[in-house]
Amino acid sequence: MTQVRIVCDSTASIPPSIAAELEITIVHAFINFGSESYRDALDLSEAEFYAKLAASPKLPTTAVPPPGVFEETYQRLGADGAAIVSIHLNSRLSGMCNAATAAARALPDRNITVVDSQALSMGLGWVAILAARAAREGGDATQVVARAQSAIARVHLLAALDTFENVRRSGRVNFPQAFLGTLFDIKPILDIRADGVHPIDKVRARRAATERVIELITELSPFEELAVIHTNAPQRGIELREQLARVHPRERILVVEAGAILATPKMTV
């Protein structure tokens, strides 16, 4: 058993099989549909979430788990003296790191290091996975944190929006912008980095967006690891993996569901 335990949050999109294999403990954020609250990736299946999202007159909101959840997790994982490295969603986008840090400070007898991944989804996921691999190889807390920091500096996350509807409903884009985007079938391509979300390009039609994303990914290759992330579009994820097999071995390209937290337009975690 490793002497450094890795904690991550459910926004990371890490496949459950990989989290289990690497002994990554997941702390679950909350999704709220009105007065109903669900633990992300635990109480709602993806299918149930998207059905609710389509049917709900109001967009869901999200919430960070309270510090008590982190405290209980750290108490349990550190009971035998193991160090804990807790890696979380970009602190510019979420209070997740703040909640984890508050819990760590409440447990001065535990060896806990909180790491701001400066990323989200599988950007965060890869940081946690590489840290967990370092722990499995026998690295101490300092070495595991160093591996995480090295990964943070090298993570890239590109995104193409297929529709303006949810961002229009969230209020992040005004109605005329959303209307024109829909009217002309515009697909924005975004670069999501530590300092925020940056538009890279705008193309017309889904196929052109896919081709542009592939072009950008090819320019960034070669990769240590690569994942295709989708929101309720598994077949398109598989198709994109096939197209990316020319720049990275197909069997080493993960296809993952982004999860309800990142598909929730009113993201407040």
DSSP assignment string, 61-104: EEEPPPHHHHHHHHHHHTTTS-EEEEEES-TTT-SHHHHHHHHH
The answer to whether residues 143 and 152 touch, using CB atoms and an 8 Å cutoff, is no
Of 154, 171, 195, at which residue does a domain stop?
154
Identify whether 178 is part of a domain. Answer: yes
- Indicate whether 139 and 233 sit together in one domain: no
- Indicate whether 114 and 28 sit together in one domain: yes
Distance CA 19, CA 25 (A): 7
Dig out the tokens for 29 from the structure. Answer: 């954020």
Of 87-91, 126-130, 155-159, minimum mean pLDDT range: 155-159
Identify whether 164 is part of a domain. Answer: yes
Identify whether 268 is part of a domain. Answer: no
Residue 178's pLDDT is 34
Looking up tokens 């193991």 gives 82
Report the number of distinct structural domains present in the chain: 2
- Indicate whether 82 and 203 sit together in one domain: no
Identify whether 244 is part of a domain. Answer: yes
pLDDT level of residue 94 (50, 70, 90 thresholds): confident
- Indicate whether 162 and 31 sit together in one domain: no
Residue 196's pLDDT is 63
Provide mean pLDDT across the span 253-259: 89
Q: What is the CATH number of the domain that holds 92?
A: 3.40.50.10170
Name the more confident of 179 and 257: 257
- Indicate whether 74 and 174 sit together in one domain: no
Q: What is the CATH number of the domain that holds 220?
A: 3.30.1180.10
Domain range for 35 is 4-154
Provide mean pLDDT across the span 35-58: 86
Of 154, 169, 204, at which residue does a domain stop?
154
- Indicate whether 29 and 128 sit together in one domain: yes
CA distances from 209 to 30, 163, 186, 235, 257 (A): 32, 12, 9, 16, 19
Of 106, 127, 154, at which residue does a domain stop?
154
Name the more confident of 204 and 11: 11
Identify whether 177 is part of a domain. Answer: yes
The pTM of this model reads 0.86
Say whether pLDDT at 246 is over 80. Answer: yes
- Indicate whether 135 and 175 sit together in one domain: no
